[in-house]
């Protein structure tokens, strides 16, 4: 049987001896606060301040003065998470259980149930934009092992109570709750020291708790961000060197130590660790992680929070492909004065598209090649009709690692009318999007982790185009207008594997309604025996359906799902198009042009077009 954790006693003798500096960063956050409930794994100093109120900074259950997991997460989101006894938002206490505290815990330590009920009494309406975290259950197991006959019943009740508490937070308005399941307590040094039978019992109780918790959070709906600590600990212990650990069996602070009383050599605390072991050892004491392990777990959490933001770009990618291909069709409609009755064309476009980094998406660069081929006929002197096929290959790289490959295949049809200087027409498109190598790359400890998946999608669009050419000497100039609607749907998918960090993502949908008002200009030059037509267009574009892309996600090994705001496209931007057409022979027309966006706050876009048209 595992000996109960001792968190009182020598604290009052030791914690007045030293002080250690502490600093946090403040990056841009997608949440406006972080609030924590739980036990010693999330206690930012409450038990320390309770025993010795004047000690600063308060000790934590790790290799002090390092931060615990939730503090690292909060710091990455832009917040300093401190103990509630110091006026902060961390209400977790060492020794706290969901229903029953660990044996030996000071009498004044509130259970997790008490933590949340007390908080809700003073905060009946919760901040829907805050990140709440909960990690509990381990101390209920330590308590239950003192009465083996009823241990499993107690563990089931504790897990059910945690689910109830999560439901209370949701009912009060919480929309993002980070929920850790229990690590495999049977793999901890304290459990292993107690013998194979005790370790096996603790593994069984950990699994019972997690299974009950998992079943419960599966019924809570969207708003649970699950963290599979059980799978992660098992992975790291199975291959510690991969993640940067040299020892996963001996505590850095020594056998029989308590990490809340542990600091570096020379700190004067009852327990100390050798230089470097705070990062190279997995365990600080018999059950608590070191600073390095806490950093690693925070990396996993942050990768989960970032994943939907990266995946949100999938619904933007087909829009670039199809609008490039419909632009090739509009070029045919605008220049419908190439005398032959039957014509075929081909247009190839290379574009560089850069999505800017924002609170909702990482910086991403996509190199795109789109080929559009088609043919049209003069149905009458004033009406032409045509069809086309577009094939796009887009290769995107996310800053820091990851990306996706997109193949977009589009069928197009168009009808245009012209009379004198006036022209008008309509066009439609339908396409299939195929994504491969949808990769996320992030660090877990020292291991550069790759999670990969693939998915498909479709898109359907309709556009109207028109304008008027005024003759001004050898020049033509005039207004143009275009309205284009696109509906893009991306299937949900799961990443391969079932490790601690593999995830699934829900179905996505993007609607765009882009209105363009512009002005065109074209001239006429004679060079040797070749007619040249330089042209330029400036446009103002407004996407009335542009909004923040939302993505639903979860992890493969646990229930629970959450929505995360992703990429936000700009509603307004300018566009410029300039190039030259060349009448190579009486039946062959070629062109080259540049197209780009400006005053777009969400992305940069530049492209080069090459095309040719044949008349028959």
For the annotated catalytic residues, the residue numbers are: 40, 285, 288
User: If you search the block for the tokens 């589009």, which residue do you land on?
Assistant: 410
Instruction: Write b or e for each residue in 568-577: b if 16 or more Cβ atoms lie within 10 A of its Cβ, otherwise e.
Output: bbbbebebeb
Cα within 13 Å of Cα(474), Cβ side: 8
Query: What does the alpha-carbon distance between residue 221 and residue 493 come to, in Å, rounded to a whole number?
Result: 19
Q: Residue 266's Cα: distance from chain center in Å? A: 42
**Could you tell me if 33 and 89 are in contact, meaning their C-beta atoms sit under 8 angstroms apart?**
yes
Nearest to 547 by CA among 508, 492, 510: 510
Burial of 308 (0-12, 13-18, 19+ CB in 10 A): buried
Q: Residue 376's Cα: distance from chain center in Å? A: 44
- Three-state DSSP at 499 gives coil
Query: What does the alpha-carbon distance between residue 588 and residue 343 come to, in Å, rounded to a whole number?
Result: 10
Q: Where are the beta strands (DSSP E) in 261-341?
A: 262-264, 271-273
Residues 6+ positions from 214 with CB-CB distance below 8 Å? 181, 558, 559
Query: What does the alpha-carbon distance between residue 221 and residue 450 come to, in Å, rounded to a whole number?
Result: 28
Query: What does the alpha-carbon distance between residue 570 and residue 544 come to, in Å, rounded to a whole number?
Result: 10
**Could you tell me if 104 and 5 are in contact, meaning their C-beta atoms sit under 8 angstroms apart?**
yes
User: If you search the block for the tokens 């709750």, which residue do you land on?
Assistant: 177
Query: What does the alpha-carbon distance between residue 372 and residue 388 come to, in Å, rounded to a whole number?
Result: 7
Structure-block tokens of residue 213: 């918790």
- DSSP sequence for 125-146: S--TTSEEEEE--HHHHHHHTT
**Could you tell me if 180 and 206 are in contact, meaning their C-beta atoms sit under 8 angstroms apart?**
no
* CA-to-CA separations, 108 to 46, 50, 168, in angstroms, rounded: 11, 9, 24
Instruction: Please count the residues of the chain.
Output: 616
């Amino acid at each position: 049987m595992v000996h109960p954790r001792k968190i009182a006693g020598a604290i009052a003798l030791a914690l007045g001896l030293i002080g250690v500096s502490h600093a946090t960063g403040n990056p841009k956050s997608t949440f406006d606060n972080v609030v924590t409930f739980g036990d010693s794994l999330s206690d930012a100093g409450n038990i320390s301040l309770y025993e010795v109120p004047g000690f600063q900074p308060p000790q934590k259950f790790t290799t002090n003065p390092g931060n615990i997991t939730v503090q690292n997460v909060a710091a990455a989101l832009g917040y300093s998470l401190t103990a509630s006894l110091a006026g902060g938002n961390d209400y977790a206490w060492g020794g706290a259980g969901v229903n029953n505290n660990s044996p030996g815990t000071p009498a004044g330590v509130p259970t997790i149930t008490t933590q949340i009920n007390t908080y809700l009494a003073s905060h009946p309406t919760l901040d829907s934009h805050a990140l709440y975290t909960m990690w509990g259950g381990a101390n209920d197991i330590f308590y239950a092992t003192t009465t083996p006959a009823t241990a499993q019943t107690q563990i089931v009740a504790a897990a059910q109570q945690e689910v109830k508490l999560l439901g209370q937070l949701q009912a009060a308005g919480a929309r993002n709750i980070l929920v850790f399941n229990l690590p495999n307590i049977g793999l901890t040094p304290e459990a292993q020291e107690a013998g194979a039978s005790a370790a096996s019992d603790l593994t069984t109780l950990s699994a019972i708790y997690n299974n009950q918790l998992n079943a419960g959070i599966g019924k809570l709906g969207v708003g649970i961000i699950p963290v599979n600590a059980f799978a992660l600990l098992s992975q790291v212990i199975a291959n510690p060197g991969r993640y940067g650990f040299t020892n996963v069996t001996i505590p850095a602070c020594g056998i029989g130590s308590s990490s809340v009383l542990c600091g570096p050599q020379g700190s004067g605390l009852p327990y100390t660790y050798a230089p470097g072991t705070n990062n190279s050892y997995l365990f600080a004491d018999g059950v608590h992680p070191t600073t390095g392990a806490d950093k690693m777990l925070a990396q996993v959490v942050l990768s989960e929070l970032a994943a939907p933001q990266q995946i949100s770009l999938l619904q933007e990618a087909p829009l670039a492909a199809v609008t490039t291909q419909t632009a090739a069709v509009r070029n045919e409609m605008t220049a419908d004065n190439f005398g032959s009755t039957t014509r075929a064309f081909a247009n190839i476009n290379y574009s560089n598209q850069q999505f800017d980094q924002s609170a909702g998406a990482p910086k991403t660069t996509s190199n795109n090649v789109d080929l559009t081929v088609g043919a049209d006929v003069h149905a009458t002197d004033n009406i032409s009709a045509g069809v086309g096929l577009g094939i796009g290959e887009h290769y995107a790289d996310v800053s820091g690692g990851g990306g996706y490959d997109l193949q977009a295949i589009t069928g197009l049809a168009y009808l245009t009318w012209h009379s004198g200087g006036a022209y008008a027409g309509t066009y439609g498109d339908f396409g299939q999007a195929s994504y491969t190598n949808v990769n996320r790359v992030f660090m877990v400890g020292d291991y550069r982790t790759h999670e990969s998946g693939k998915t498909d999608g479709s898109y359907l669009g309709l556009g109207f185009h028109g304008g008027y050419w005024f003759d001004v000497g050898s020049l033509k100039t005039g207004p143009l207008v275009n309205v284009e609607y696109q509906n893009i749907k991306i299937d949900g998918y799961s990443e391969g594997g079932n490790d601690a960090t593999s995830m699934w993502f829900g179905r996505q949908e993007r609607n765009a309604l882009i209105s363009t008002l512009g002005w065109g200009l074209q001239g006429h030059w004679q060079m040797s025996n070749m007619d040249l037509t330089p042209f330029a267009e400036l446009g103002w574009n407004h996407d009335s359906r542009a909004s923040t892309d939302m993505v639903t996600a979860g992890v493969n090994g646990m229930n629970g799902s959450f929505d995360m705001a992703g990429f936000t496209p700009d509603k307004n931007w300018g566009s410029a198009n300039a190039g030259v057409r060349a009448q190579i022979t009486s039946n062959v027309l070629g062109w080259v042009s540049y197209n780009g966006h400006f005053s777009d706050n969400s992305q940069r876009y530049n492209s080069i077009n090459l095309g040719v048209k044949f008349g028959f």
